[in-house]
Amino acid sequence: MDNDIGLWGVPLAILGGAIRVSTPFIFVSLGETITERSGRINLGLEGTLVFGAMAAYATAVNTGSAWAGVVAAAISGIGFGLFHGWICKFPKVNDIAIGIAMMLFGTGLAFYFGKPYIKPSAPTLPAIPLGSWSSSPQLQAALNINVLFIVGAVLAVVLWWALKNTKAGLILRVVGDSSDAARAMGLNPNTVRLLATAAGGALAAIGGAYLSLYYPGSWNERISSGQGLMAVALVIFARWNPLGCFAAALLFGGAGALGPALQSVGVTQGYYLFYAAPYVLTLAIMIATSSPGRMLAGAPGELSITK
């Protein structure tokens, strides 16, 4: 079999890259979706993600189990989420600004406690070689899919279903659309938002665990390239729909993989513009779907960015 597949290498590299790069996006954006559907925005998921990456790596180094690392990340994410959710329930506290502060705090703590873990190597998360039927190494590489990617895909479907069809989903949507309606139903909006932010934090931290335990698969201070912040844009792009998040995560991941893929076949110009494409797209969608009378179609009514 001829291994030189020429230009076909580009779409394959993008596909493989999209799957590899998109997994943290899937988790962070699903987490942010849960939080935002409750009517609160957490811009601090970047900090949670970086801390999750560190906590996962440190735990994996110390216990020898990558999955223990994922659990540790999730627990740390719950902690950050609860903190954000608790502090935002006080009047006059700006949830957007608190998010930025939490981002600084989370990354600071992660770098602080992560310093001793830059050198040791941790066990990595397992991947499933779905491409083993093929003799093309490129295809095998592209279809070598991590378990967390599959978990994320399933989670997106489950969340999409649960938001529509379960009581918990209904409660989340009511609180997100109108605090007053929620109170009239006997719900405490602050409690719901606290739990939603905690769940969002847990997912963001698992996204971080993927970064440090699978791809790129090491812990250092440049582990995140802003996936936590991008998630905010991604959720708007996906219109607060979990299935949309999954698709948007693949798209964002693919756009990120486009540059290196083109470079590998000799196209070196325009690399950075491809990298910016998801942001341009998100901005275009925001401009197209907002109008002076009504902000951001599809957004939860209580969300501070829609007021």
Partner 1 sequence: MSTSSETSGNTPIIATAPASSLEGLARRSEAFAIPLLALIFGMVLFSVFLITQGRSPLDFLDIVWRGGFGSWFSIQNTLSRASPLLLTALCVALPARLGLVVIGGEGAIVLGGVAAAALGASFTTAPSFIVIPLMGLAGMLAGGIWIGTVGALRHYRAVNETISSLLMAYIAIALMNQLVEGPLRDPASLNKPSTHPLAEAYRIGSIPGMDVHWGLAVGIIACTLSWVLIEKTRWGFAARIAGGNVRAAQIQGLAVGPLIVGFTALAGAFSGLAGMIEVAAVQGNANASLAAGNGYTGILVAFLARHNPLAIIPVSIFLGGIYASGGLVQRRMDLPDATVLVLQGLLFIIILFSETLYGRFKMFNPDLWKRGT
- Residues forming contacts to partner 1 in the complex (CB under 8 A) are 43, 47, 87, 90-94, 96-98, 100-112, 115, 221, 226, 229-230, 232-233, 236, 269-273, 275-276, 279-280, 282-283, 286-287, 290-296, 305-306
Considering beta carbons, is residue 52 or 152 the nearer one to partner 1?
52
* Residue 236: CB minimum distance to partner 1, A: 6
The answer to whether the CB of 157 falls within 8 A of the CB of 143 is: no
CB count in 10 Å sphere of residue 36 = 27
Considering beta carbons, is residue 91 or 186 the nearer one to partner 1?
91
* Residue 87: CB minimum distance to partner 1, A: 6
C-alpha–C-alpha distance, residues 77 and 85, integer Å: 12
The answer to whether the CB of 72 falls within 8 A of the CB of 56 is: yes
Using alpha carbons, select from 149, 159, 148 the residue that is nearest to residue 67: 148
* Residue 292: CB minimum distance to partner 1, A: 5
Considering beta carbons, is residue 47 or 152 the nearer one to partner 1?
47
Q: Is the dihedral of CA 255, 260, 263, 265 positive or negative?
A: negative
The answer to whether the CB of 56 falls within 8 A of the CB of 115 is: no
Considering beta carbons, is residue 113 or 161 the nearer one to partner 1?
113
Helices (H), 178-226: 179-184, 189-213
* Residue 218: CB minimum distance to partner 1, A: 18
Considering beta carbons, is residue 140 or 220 the nearer one to partner 1?
220
* Residue 270: CB minimum distance to partner 1, A: 7
SS3 91: coil
